[in-house]
Amino acid sequence: VKPLHGERWHMFNIDNVALSQRRIAIASALKEAIEFDQLSLFFQPQIYLNTGKVHGAEALLRWEHPQLGNVPPDLFIPIAESSGIISDLTEWVITQALRYQKKMTALLPEHIISINISAKDLQRKDLPVLFITLLNEYQLNPANVMLELTESATLFEGVDIRNALNDYRLIGVKIAIDDFGTGYSSLAYLSKMGFDEIKIDKQFVMNIEYSKNDQTICRATCDIAKSLGSYVVAEGIEDSQSMVKLQSYGCEVGQGYFFSRPLPFDDYMLWLEQNFEA
Ligand code: C2E
Ligand code: CA
Ligand code: CA
Ligand code: CA
């Protein structure tokens, strides 16, 4: 047995322990995040590329912990999903997002609010009820609510998810496939599920100016979406050249730092007042 081998194994183990301790620490801090008012929703504008008008906003979760600081969602969402805390988070996000949507539609009646839903949330039977309750309470048009579902192994399991999506369709809310092209979905899956919106992940958009491959992928996604009757939103648009390229492919809606970073609610309302055209 080579000594190096043993040493490596040893180090690997220590890393693993540190990582799992960190995950446990984050999971337990996350349990208190709602109670201690550490969460907030930011809103990132989505713009119609052809007209420059406001389509709506994606709600993005932020967690400010007194000791850990600003913990990025890419870090805590997966931990929330594997520890079961995601249920409470999702309920909180939906409740807040629809409450804010009421104020956004007062300014712009056609405003679409996009909400990220974990594939795990789709197994819950009580979430559609929560939507019905809140949509009634705030008198919102369900067609102006978009659920963004990330491609995942769970989503891919098929039949149950299709039933779950039907519950939402009956309510009248819309469904988007998020991060399209980065995960597990196949073209057959795309055709079966009939998504209202397809969201191109920023990894294909960020280098679109220089990468022929990314251009091909974005153009093909727009073509497929059109043939299937979905519309396309591209995220991660950081400059006008990328916007123009995507527009030429028939991409309907754009989102990214070029238009605006995600904003706290008050700032988003100001942005909306300055940018909406009747
Ligand atoms: P996502 O759903 O793909 O969201 C888009 C991410 O891209 C956001 O990161 C957004 O801030 C970022 N982004 C937008 N435009 C640009 C751009 O032009 N350049 C660059 N470099 N980045 C841009 P964020 O807010 O850190 O969220 C990360 C991920 O965390 C989200 O990815 C989503 O998967 C998850 N997430 C966020 N909020 C929620 C939530 O309420 N529920 C669930 N289940 N997941 C959430
Ligand atoms: Ca999303
Ligand atoms: Ca994502
Ligand atoms: Ca993405």
pLDDT of 199-243, one tens digit each?
999 999 999 999 999 999 999 999 999 999 999 999 999 999 999
The pLDDT value given to residue 278:
45
The pLDDT value given to residue 6:
45
Q: Whose CA is nearest to atom 15 of ligand 1?
A: 256
Average of pLDDT values for 129-137?
98
Q: Whose CA is nearest to atom 42 of ligand 1?
A: 116
Q: Which residue has the higher pLDDT, 7 or 226?
A: 226
CB of 179 closer than 6 angstroms to any ligand 1 atom = yes
Please tell me the pTM assigned to this model: 0.93
Average of pLDDT values for 43-63?
97
Average of pLDDT values for 19-26?
85
Residue 143 has pLDDT above 70, yes or no: yes
CB of 193 closer than 6 angstroms to any ligand 1 atom = no
CB 260 within 8 A of CB 44: yes
118-127, 155-164, 228-237: the lowest-pLDDT one: 155-164
The pLDDT value given to residue 155:
63
Instruction: State the complex-level ipTM.
Output: 0.97
Q: Is residue 159 very low, low, confident or very high in pLDDT (cuts 50, 70, 90)?
A: low
The pLDDT value given to residue 89:
96
- Ligand 1 centroid–CA 256 distance in Å is 10
Q: Whose CA is nearest to atom 10 of ligand 1?
A: 262
Residue 38 has pLDDT above 80, yes or no: yes
Distance CA 181, CA 201 (A): 7
- Ligand 1 centroid–CA 10 distance in Å is 35
Residue 1 has pLDDT above 70, yes or no: no
CB 205 within 8 A of CB 243: no
79-101 pLDDT tens trace: 999 899 999 999 999 999 999 99
The burial class, CB within 10 Å (0-12 / 13-18 / 19+), for 124 is middle
Average of pLDDT values for 23-31?
91
Q: Is residue 7 very low, low, confident or very high in pLDDT (cuts 50, 70, 90)?
A: very low
The pLDDT value given to residue 120:
83
* The pair of three-digit structure tokens given for residue 54, joined into one six-digit string: 């406001």
CB of 114 closer than 6 angstroms to any ligand 1 atom = no
B/e letters for 140-179, b = 16+ CB within 10 Å, e = fewer, are beeebbbbbbbbbebbeeeeebeebbebbeeeebbbbbbb
Look-up of token digits 């299937």:
228
CB of 116 closer than 6 angstroms to any ligand 1 atom = yes
CB of 81 closer than 6 angstroms to any ligand 1 atom = no
Q: Which residues surround ligand 3, an ion (CB under 5 A)?
A: 179
Which atom of ligand 1 is nearest the CA belonging to 97? 41
SS (HEC) of 113-124: EEEEECHHHHHC
- Ligand 2 centroid–CA 219 distance in Å is 20
The pLDDT value given to residue 3:
47
- Ligand 1 centroid–CA 144 distance in Å is 20
Share of the chain above pLDDT 90, in %: 73
- For residue 264, CA distances in Å to 58, 182, 271 come to 12, 28, 10
CB of 266 closer than 6 angstroms to any ligand 1 atom = no
Which atom of ligand 1 is nearest the CA belonging to 72? 26
Residue 18 has pLDDT above 90, yes or no: no
CB of 200 closer than 6 angstroms to any ligand 1 atom = no
